[in-house]
Amino acid sequence: SRGGIALTTIVITGAAGFIGSNFVRLALQRGYRKVVAFDKLTYAGHLESLAEVSSDSRFVFQKGDIADSQQVAALYAEHAPSCLVNFAAESHVDRSIDDPDAFIRTNIVGTHRLLEGARKHLAGLEDDAASRFRFLHVSTDEVYGSLGSEGAFTEETPYAPNSPYAASKAAADHLVRAYCETFGLPALITNCSNNYGPYQFPEKLIPLVILNAVEARDLPIYGDGANVRDWLHVEDHCEGIMLALEKGDAGRKYNLGGQGERSNLEIVDAICNALDELRPARDNPAMQERGYAHYSELKTFVPDRPGHDRRYAIDASRAEKELGWRAGHDLESGLRETVRWYLNHGTWRRAVQPTGEERKRRGQAPAL
């Protein structure tokens, strides 16, 4: 064991998604005897993201839906986990504007099903195993709403979600807290800033811009491009979650941020500069066809999405003090590595997104 938890069986929901698949690799590196990957395999979950670990004898994949109570009950009964980490979520704000129902079902109902399953699982454990069990729910800084030009979100910041996605994650957080307080479920919550890195489905800003640029498609920038996000490399995020799982006390909440505040426009410019170096426009037939010498010429400002939060920033001092965690990647080198990863992983890109048409604009529902 490490830090009081048993390194026996860990269940990771949403394991075929972006952050979940990266966490699976970390759990195997950490020495867990059995790593159970549970995923519905929606449009954003792909077995290709787990291909490199599929031959590990400790790895088990199980297709399933966290909002299905029978499947969740069977998951706990079959694998008797020593801990569960919940990554399973609908996560794209634009999609939540177009279709909130899927977000309510997975993010709220699904989290409730997992909590109920954990409560029943815990009731059947011996005292020692029950005291060491942990349920860790992975959440987002978007539950806190939008910041002005100063300040940062702390664990005590009041919730003020502004999108259906953020509201669904806020509701899930409240359920986790309630199960901890009411039923004594040994649960923790982590709230992270925007993640980037390998295996991110190309609908979020960074991979979308990389792939659109390579194909010489327009690079859509919402509004004036001045919306600010704090960027956190996915490997740093996974390390923070693991430390919270191993060292955090039940009932505790940790904000995980990358100390990498940038405007969306700055991120797009940085990607364009990296591509100018790694795949110059003169060597890219698509760029030659459009007659562009630099990727920045593809930038296109488009109408902002409804309820677009202006700024996020994370105060991660609690995680630094209590867990000894701090983000290890600086944004400049991490972003360049990420651009290189997408350029070098064409097979994965084509498997998860056969055409660029899936990168079309969403989330333009007019306000009532």
* Annotation says 76 is catalytic: no
Q: Given 165, 179, 312, 342, which residue is catalytic?
A: 165
Q: Given 39, 90, 94, 141, which residue is catalytic?
A: 141
**Distance between CA atoms of residues 30 and 181, nearest Å:** 30
Q: 151 with 267: CB under 8 angstroms?
A: no
* Annotation says 141 is catalytic: yes
**Distance between CA atoms of residues 181 and 211, nearest Å:** 45
Strand (E) or helix (H) holding 78:
helix 69-79
Torsion sign across C-alpha atoms 349, 49, 234, 336? negative
DSSP 13-66: ETTTSHHHHHHHHHHHHHT-SEEEEEE---TT--GGGGGGGTT-TTEEEEE--T
Q: Which of 66, 273, 96 has its CA nearest to residue 167?
A: 96
Q: Given 142, 239, 269, 315, which residue is catalytic?
A: 142
* Annotation says 68 is catalytic: no
List residues with catalytic annotation: 141-142, 165
